[in-house]
Structure 1
Amino acid sequence: MEKKELHYIHSFAEYVDRFIKALIDYSPKLISAFIILFVGLYAIRFINRLAKKIMVKRELDPTLSKFLADSLLWALRVLLFVTFISKLGIETSSFVAILGAAGLAIGLSLQGSLSNFAGGMLIILFKPFRVGDTIEAQGVVGVVSEIQIFVTKLVNGNNQTIFIPNGNLSNGTIINYSMAGMRRADLLFSLSYDTNIKTAKDIVMKVMQDHPKVLKNPAATVSIRGLSDSAIQLSIKPWSKNPDFSDMCSDILENCKEAFDAAGIVVQPYVRETTKK
């Protein structure tokens, strides 16, 4: 038993000596790799902060600035990681091949997400709308609250948050109500055939001229849209600035109705025509 114990002790001592020798031989690579790692992490933070300051100074779009800063951050981190494991003596060619194969597999499985990513890039670069704009797209209307890489977030008039995939958004029709800075309303009154058309048009023009939120230029217009079987259709088209649009439309309709009532003009109710059998 004593000889076996001495043999085990001797073998263990040899293993310890070999481990210490290997550690000593390998320690320069280990120390230099961790120095590169810590210095690299500090340098990445510094470069990222510097890039953000430059983009803010150049007044780039906030969404684009964030995306570019994040992309730069992760690209530098990957480069640092490859440098770190290479300094440790690990073969990087096989690692890069595995990374490429994994990227291809992930790309094939996330084709829809990549389409949304490409759509987000197109929106950020070509700017068909910005944060704060009121747009209509994919059958919904809302104010753009955030443009993300994969989706765009809208808030509609009911304060509901709507997420639209950027792939669908960039490939579809977008109506931007805010880009021009002002907007025209298309309002309609149906009046009785007993109405004097000139008097009705004069009343409407006065209502629009007296309203502070109706723009003088472009000028508001009043015209006859059509003559139905039951009414004269009066088309009213005032202009306003985008923030005033909803209030202006409501006020014009209300003020015109009150003015018509005061002048004895009858607003014709909608009549659905039916065929008797």
Structure 2
Amino acid sequence: MENLSLETILGYVESYGLPVIKAILIWIIGSWIIGKVMKQVSKIMSKRDYEPSLQKFLSNLLSWLLKILLIVTILGTLGVQTTSFAAILASAGLAIGMALQGSLANFAGGVLIMIFKPFKIGDLISAQGETGVVKEIEIFTTKLNSPENREIIIPNGILSNGNITNFSSEGKLRVDLTIGVGYDEDIKKTKEVLMKVLTDNPKVLQEPAPTVAVSELADSSVNFAVRPWSTTANYWDVYFETLENVKIALDEAGIEIPYPHSVEIHKEG
């Protein structure tokens, strides 16, 4: 009985003990390798200046994928049939993907935005018919703050696939204004008055230089293209201040800004 018991014990050790020891060693070594890989990946993403939210998400995703692979390897060492397990995971992944098709598109769009960086937080952009300052870039959505102080939430899927105008990427913006004066007014004098308004405003950049030029001979006015440049932060200040100061300067110079006239014709008899 003692010999039989010893043989039985040795049989159990050989059948189950060695695979368990192998599984433990694989877990220890695999966890150590995963840790090294994750540190290296974090260094690479930091050097490439990935968004913190994207770094965290990709790190967690990669960590879970490596751990699942490690667990499948350990199950195979213990004699578990991993083919059926892999099939279950694939089926579950397909089902989840179909159910979350729209969310996955937004997720993919968020990853593309964070990697290629068509804009960053604080940029003034126009996209999907909306204009505002980028407030947050999340995995699934991007939040803008409109000039009216409204929060605009745009799904990243359509945002990444549409046209995006970034007003802040160059650091400077041109303010486009059209000012009309009467046909009887002196063009040269008008240009001097308009240019002085621009050069006297400290928020108007001198490089690139502001410009004033005749743009159109309209029905009731000579229209001037007034083009000051400003920083992104001062855009609206320059826009509104220029309009106000132009009106004041033209009035002081005696230059008429035309307005619609109506003519009444009275027929006698």
TM bin (shorter chain): 0.7 to 0.9
The amino acid across from 1:206 in the alignment is: K
Q: Any gaps of 5 or more consecutive residues in structure 1?
A: 1-21
Closer, same or farther in 2 for the Cα pair 1:156/1:73, shift >3 Å?
A: farther
Q: How does the TM-score come out when normalised to structure 1?
A: 0.75
> Which one-letter code corresponds to 1:193 in the other structure?
Y
Q: Partner residue of 1:167?
A: 157
Q: Verify the 8 A CA contact 1:230 1:271 in the aligned structure 2.
A: no
| 3-state SS, counterpart of residue 213 of structure 1 | coil
Deviation at 1:37, TM superposition (A): 6.2
Give the Cα separation in 2 of the matches to 1:271 and 1:92.
Answer: 86
Q: In the aligned structure 1, how far is the partner of 2:130 from the partner of 2:172?
A: 20
2:256 aligned with 1:263, yes or no? no
Partner Cα separation in structure 1 for residue 60 and residue 97 of structure 2: 19
For residue 177 of structure 1, what is the aligned residue in structure 2?
A: 167
Indicate yes or no: 2:110 matched with 1:120: yes
Segments of 5+ residues of structure 2 without an aligned counterpart are 1-11, 264-269
**Aligned 8 A contact 1:131 1:147 in 2:** yes
Deviations 1:43-68 (A, max 9, x none): 75675455334432453444543343
2:50 and 2:115 in contact (8 A); partners too:
no
Tell me, in whole angstroms, the C-alpha distance in 2 between the residues paired with 1:232 and 1:45: 71
The alpha-carbon deviation at position 217 of structure 1 amounts to 2.0
Identity of aligned residues (%): 48
What is the letter of the counterpart of residue 159 of structure 2? L
Other structure's SS at 1:243 match: coil
Q: For residues 160 and 83 of structure 1, do their structure 2 counterparts lie closer, same or farther at Cα, with a shift above 3 Å needed?
A: farther
> What RMSD, in angstroms, separates the aligned Cα atoms of the two structures?
3.3
SS in 1 for 2:234: helix
Which residue number in structure 2 is paired with residue 91 of structure 1? 81
C-alpha contact (below 8 Å) 1:224/1:232 kept by paired residues: yes
The 5 Å alignment of 1:55-204 reads 55-83=45-73, 85-86=75-76, 89-204=79-194
* Counterpart for residue 222 of structure 1: 212
Q: How far is the alpha carbon of 1:92 from its aligned partner?
A: 2.1
Count matched residues.
253
TM-score by length of structure 2 reads 0.77
Separation in 1, partners of 2:81, 2:39? 32
Change (3 A) 1:144 1:271: farther
Q: Amino acid of the residue matched to residue 263 of structure 1?
A: A
Q: Is the 8 Å Cα contact of residues 155 and 162 (structure 1) preserved in structure 2?
A: yes
The Cα offsets for residues 88-136 of structure 1, whole Å up to 9 and x where unpaired, read as 6543221110110121222233333333233333323332222222110
Q: CA deviation at 1:247?
A: 1.3
